[in-house]
Amino acid sequence: MARECVITGKKSRVGGGYSNRTRATKFNPTGTRRRQVNLQKKTLFIPELGKKITINVSAKGLKTMKKRGAYKTLKAAGLV
């Protein structure tokens, strides 16, 4: 299973480090690294369906569900 948020669609990205020395020398010795998304495995009870579901969701996705409601958000994402 890919490390991806089911609500926001966030995935890992490759980003480079940037040192202060780079500004002086125009040389970047830090290389690149993979930046992982902040995924949480959550089990939610959906009263409208009367059952529990387990999803991988990012912290931003949890915030979205809290604001809009779990059922409405999951329905928009096509999970319900």
Cβ-in-10-Å burial (0-12, 13-18, 19+) of 60 comes to middle
CATH 1.20.1630 fits 13-77, yes or no: no
- Specify the pLDDT at position 3: 87
The answer on pLDDT for 20 being more than 80 is no
- Specify the pLDDT at position 1: 54
d(CA 22, CA 33): 17
Q: Determine the average pLDDT of the residues in 37-58.
A: 93
Among 4-8, 10-14, 22-26, which is the least confidently predicted range? 22-26
d(CA 25, CA 21): 6
**What residue segments make up the domains of the chain, in order of their start?**
13-77
- Specify the pLDDT at position 2: 74
Confidence of residue 63 (pLDDT cuts 50, 70, 90): very high
